[in-house]
Amino acid sequence: MTHAPTQRMRTEARQGRGIPEATVARLPVYLRALTASSDRGVSVASSQDLATAAGVNSAKLRKDLSYLGSYGTRGVGYDVEYLRYQISRELGLTQDWAVVIVGIGNLGQALANYAGFSTRGFRIMALLDADPAREGERFGGHEIRRMTDLEDIVGAHGVSIGVITTPAAAAQGVADRLVAAGVTSILNFAPAVISVAPGIDVRKVDLSIELQILAYHEQRKGPATAGVTSPPGVESA
Amino acid sequence: MTHAPTQRMRTEARQGRGIPEATVARLPVYLRALTASSDRGVSVASSQDLATAAGVNSAKLRKDLSYLGSYGTRGVGYDVEYLRYQISRELGLTQDWAVVIVGIGNLGQALANYAGFSTRGFRIMALLDADPAREGERFGGHEIRRMTDLEDIVGAHGVSIGVITTPAAAAQGVADRLVAAGVTSILNFAPAVISVAPGIDVRKVDLSIELQILAYHEQRKGPATAGVTSPPGVESA
DNA sequence: TACTGTGAACCAATTCACAGCC
DNA sequence: GGCTGTGAATTGGTTCACAGTA
């Protein structure tokens, strides 16, 4: 910018609020490492221990945790239970979140059955499917309800998170209805870009995109067998 | 993890080879946008058109495409079919990739049935499950085989990509066997960190992590209404 | 002594803004 | 005139390296 204000803003809210996005994405991984340690009876763990379990380096883990506060003890490490609680709280997992899953194909069923949701405070309030003939089928203790009930369910249970596992063609319409009904976060598994109003969060998981990224790297490995030195970006985690 | 000597390497291969990782991750999205345009009979599209369809801004799209070469025409836009081919080639989708899926629960079944794989050159060579009683079951035209056949299948078909959809506890063992048999890329859906030899690519998809990230943002939206600081950091999709 | 917490240096990715070309 | 391609500026993220401390 030519007339750059340079007044970069005072960066006042450094510590307390405003964790970098990349850090937020790793906190659940640390949480899992902590839970595993806890289950093994470990009560204190160093940044090195946790970093190994989480598949990152220890400097990154310490920097990440420093955004939450100073929860470690120099010369000792981190108290597993205490840190676990702090991360849970920061992620908002100390409260329950009401969820609906729309589109009950194989993937929707897999999610409905997945125990990892309920143990982290995600409560599936309903499964919804466009096929009225499937009303009443049960998966993972949840019942399929008809699409016309969507607005009632979202309203009645204060559903804030919607999971879309429909075919691509239906995704945008479902997203629109979810948002209109009050949902403010969407996890989209349909292979389609959906657009939403500002303030609504959308995360996308695309199975075929992940494979395509692997194919790119795979392609570059093969012919490079006679590779000079070790190639630069090897890992990926 | 290898704490590589940080031998930064010459960065010689600027243009032709060596696309930034963030760009690689978006190419499949552009490919999908191009396919959609093509299906609608559009033969030329501007960076703005494609960017909208892909959910990014046009400067980013142009910069991304510039890493592949200069495939557009100034004042006009991009030829849809031509660009589609160039991206496919760059991603390695003009050849077939042999894949195995290990762990045929709901998620493994969903993947076995997913048409989006075969249309992009991913050939599922086998479904494998630890339960021998399930041998012979069929999903999406593929048959479940017993785990003991893993090495034979990988060897016989030159399988380079393995998909892990087992429970967390089994993931590392399966990864070890896949790698020993010759697989060099892994897509891991199990909620576990797996470690592999250098040169092996691992990508991880974790359904519950995505929800936890949404919960973090969701938490910060709600109570922030009466926000003290009220930072302008409103995110978008 | 052993480990955390964090400025500073470094590197990657995004955005800007405009020259170049059809 | 409209749109691409790309250096330059900026922002975000990672790694280094060490001061601080139980």
In chain A, count H helices and then E strands: 9, 10
Measuring alpha carbon to C1', the residue closest to nucleotide D7 is B63
The pLDDT of residue B17 is 59
Q: Which residue has the tokens 């936890």?
A: B212
- Within an 8 Å CB–CB cutoff, is residue B132 touching chain A? no
Rounded Cα distance between A187 and A208, Å, is: 16
Measuring alpha carbon to C1', the residue closest to nucleotide C20 is B74
CB contact (8 A) between residue A161 and residue B204: no
- Within an 8 Å CB–CB cutoff, is residue B144 touching chain A? no
Domain covering B97-210: architecture: 3-Layer(aba) Sandwich (3.40)
Closest by alpha carbon to A162, among A193, A122, A207?
A122
CA A233 and chain centroid, separation? 25
CA A235 and chain centroid, separation? 22
Query: Which tens digit of pLDDT belongs to each residue from B183-237?
Result: 999 999 999 999 999 999 999 999 999 999 999 999 999 764 333 333 333 333 2
With a 7 Å cutoff on the CB, does A16 touch strand D? no
Rounded Cα distance between B104 and B138, Å, is: 10
Reduced to 3 states (helix: H, G, I; strand: E, B; else coil), residue B81 is helix
Is the CB of residue A125 less than 8 Å from the CB of residue A95?
no
Q: Give the max Cα distance, chain A.
A: 63
**Domain A4-91 part of CATH 1.10.10.10:** yes
- Comparison of pLDDT for A1 and B88, the residue scoring more: B88
Domain ranges of chain A: 4-91, 97-210
**pLDDT level of residue B13 (50, 70, 90 thresholds):** very low
Q: Based on the number of CB atoms within 10 Å of its own CB, is A79 exposed (0-12), middle (13-18) or buried (19 or more)?
A: middle
A32 CA to C4 C1' in angstroms comes to: 21
User: pTM to 2 decimals?
Assistant: 0.89
Q: Based on the number of CB atoms within 10 Å of its own CB, is B8 exposed (0-12), middle (13-18) or buried (19 or more)?
A: exposed
pLDDT at B93 over 60: yes
Q: E strand or H helix at B13, and its extent?
A: none
Rounded Cα distance between B31 and A216, Å, is: 13
**Of residues A193, A212, A235, nearest to B91 (C-beta):** A212
* Residue A98 bridge partners (DSSP): A123
Reduced to 3 states (helix: H, G, I; strand: E, B; else coil), residue A167 is coil
